[in-house]
Every structure is written in structure tokens, then in C-alpha cells.
Amino acid sequence: MKYDYLIVGSGLFGAVFAYFAKKSGKRCLVIDKRPQLGGNVYCEKTEGINVHKYGAHIFHTSNKKVWDFVNSIVEFNRYTNCPVANYKGKLYNLPFNMNTFCQMWGVTTPEEAKAKIEEQKAEAVAALNGGEPRNLEEQALCLVGKDIFRKLIKEYTEKQWGRDCKDLPAFIIKRLPVRMVFDNNYFNDKYQGIPVGGYNKLIDGLLEGVECKTNVDFFRSEYKEWRKYADKLVYTGAIDEYFDYSLGRLDWRTVSFKTRIEDLPNFQGNAVVNYTSHDVPYTRVIEHKHFEMFGQEVFDCPKTVISEEYSTEYKEGMEPYYPVNDERNNSLATQYRQLAEKEADVIFGGRLAQYKYYDMAPVIESVMELSALLLHD
């Protein structure tokens, strides 16, 4: 039996495409090399808590069509992302806002905060003697000044990238949001939340009635000869792997996690706490129950699950997470995309196949637009 679409990967791009294809009467087969479906949004149930196995995923969008669509599959809760930064035992709200500035300088009004930041920015600009910032450190100092940079950006960024801020290009940080309000909501979007019952509910809803096979590696299975099985291919894996690294390997950033159960109901009082000094080897600690449990629910669940997140130098065989935004990789990715455009009957979609950083909502939006074009015939 031949399928209309073979879909490689069951993350959001693959799952949303399968949903719309099935709705249009198309026959689909979804394959995934992992033992479970869902890509990086997959959650593992531990002690009654949905653990974000591949890192924190917070859904946010200002697009009502996207928000209404995901809520038609599963109801989303009212989680609001309000991360906290811990620098040498002192806590600061993120993004940089009036709570941050009050803790840092004791200022209480937007005018006082603005004056302090402008004074420090002017120092950084003067130090350049009319030149442009040559690296990330100089760029960040010009954007927010020395205090915020030293306590909340410098060491955290160095942990993330594994190199000194002076050795990182200035363009990595184009802007740093400075908010003169006491609002700790990290996102400016109109809608945000987490699926009630976890992201698996969303993936299960999207793939309901679609044939799926796990533990199937596209490149090491009969499906590599995909034209025998389907008319078209939707590919969401790494673009360089698809072309057998013929132009060279793309670089990725990756993260690793140390997850443990704590025998207490509330470990840090927040879903995400960033550790911004080198004193602590991990970049942040995620306490998963706070994504879905609020108020008394936190204490009704007697244990908690926390994950320490570490930025890790990518090596072959590791999970690729983020594209590396530098000249070499951008150029190589462009060449691979040009090859991809010439592939007949193949759709390349998502972060890995397009070598672009995407939040979840734009991925869904892109599939909705693509489906409207492709699936009406």
C-alpha cells in the first residue's frame, strides 16, 4: 500500500502536517527514530509530574488562529513564564525590569533606572573611542551597561557558548530588552500556556488516527527508499544528514540534563531559575511541576522533579538542539537549502531541516500556511 506522505519525525512540524493531511483525506505514515512520539516536546510522567524531557517548552503566540488551533486539540493552562536569575545567591527577575533594577541599585522609579542604565551605556560607548563594538562583550556593555552585563549576561553566556564573551561575535546579541515596568512576564505575546496534562496530549491529539512507527531510523531502514512507499516526503531531520554531509557538517549547540526527584513539594518556587555565574556549572534549574501545578496543587503533590541544564559542546551522536549562527554555518546552510529546493516531492520543515531557530508557534503557523497551499488538491 502506498501513502500520500511519508513524514520523517513526529515533532511539532511533522505532527501538525500529519493532522492537516489526514483531515484532507491523505494517507500518511509518520516514522520516528526515538522510542516515543513528540520530538523535543515529549514529556515523561514522574511522581505525577509531566517532566519536559528535552528541556522547558513554553507555548506563546500573538496569533489567535494558532492559539485557537492548539486549544482545539487540547486546553492550555494559564502558565506565565517568569524566570529568575541567581547570581552568587542574589535573585533577579528576568527579563530585565523594574524588579531587577530595584534589586541591583535600589532604584524605585523608571526615571531613576533609566538614568543609571544610560550613564553606564555612555561609559561603554566612550570606551570604544568612536568605533563599533568588536565582540559580544562590547556590544552588551553598550546596550545595558556594566552591572547588568557582569551579573546577568557575561558568565551565563560564556557557559552557554563555552567561550569568553570577548571571543564571541557582536551580532549574537542585537538587542537586550529593558522594561521599565514591574511586570515579570518574559514574553510580550498575547497568549501563553502549557497544555493541560502535558505536551503528549497535544501530540496524541494531532496524531490521532494517523499510522505511526517509532524506533525507525529513516536512514537505516527500508524507508530510505521512500518513493517505494509514498508519493511525497516530509523531512524534519537534520538537513546536512539528508544530503549525507556532502558539503560538510553543520555545527549545532546542544544541552544535557541531570534530572532527579526531590523528596519535598517545592524546591525553588519557580519553574525556571537561571544560574548566571561560573560558580555553578549548570545554566539553569527547571522545576517541572510549576508548569502545570498552581497554589495548593504544588503542595498536594508531595515530591518534585528538577532538571539541571548544562550547555554542552556538540559531538557526533548527540541530540542537535540549536543552529550555530556564525558565518561558516550560515553559508553552509544556505548551500544545503539550495540543494533542498531541487529535491522533487520533498518538503523540508522545522528547526533541523531548515537550520533555523524556531519557537513552537511559528512552526505551527508555517505548517498551517503550507497545508492551506498543498492539501486542497
Report the catalytic residues: 175, 179, 253, 284, 309, 357, 359
Cis peptide before 95 (omega within 30 of 0): yes
Q: State the helix-helix crossing angle for 360-374 and 12-23, rounded to 10 degrees.
A: 30
28-31 and 3-8 beta bridge pairing = parallel
Strand partners, 6: 29, 233
- The amino acid present at 324, given as its one-letter code, is V
d(CA 233, CA 217): 15
87, 201 in Cβ contact below 8 A?
Answer: no
Place of cell 494531532: 206
> Which class for 325: exposed (0-12), middle (13-18), buried (19 or more C-beta within 10 A)?
middle
Place of cell 539553569: 284
Q: What single DSSP character describes residue 128?
A: T
166, 8 in Cβ contact below 8 A?
Answer: no
d(CA 10, CA 363): 13
Shortest CA distance to 216 belongs to which of 25, 78, 35? Answer: 35
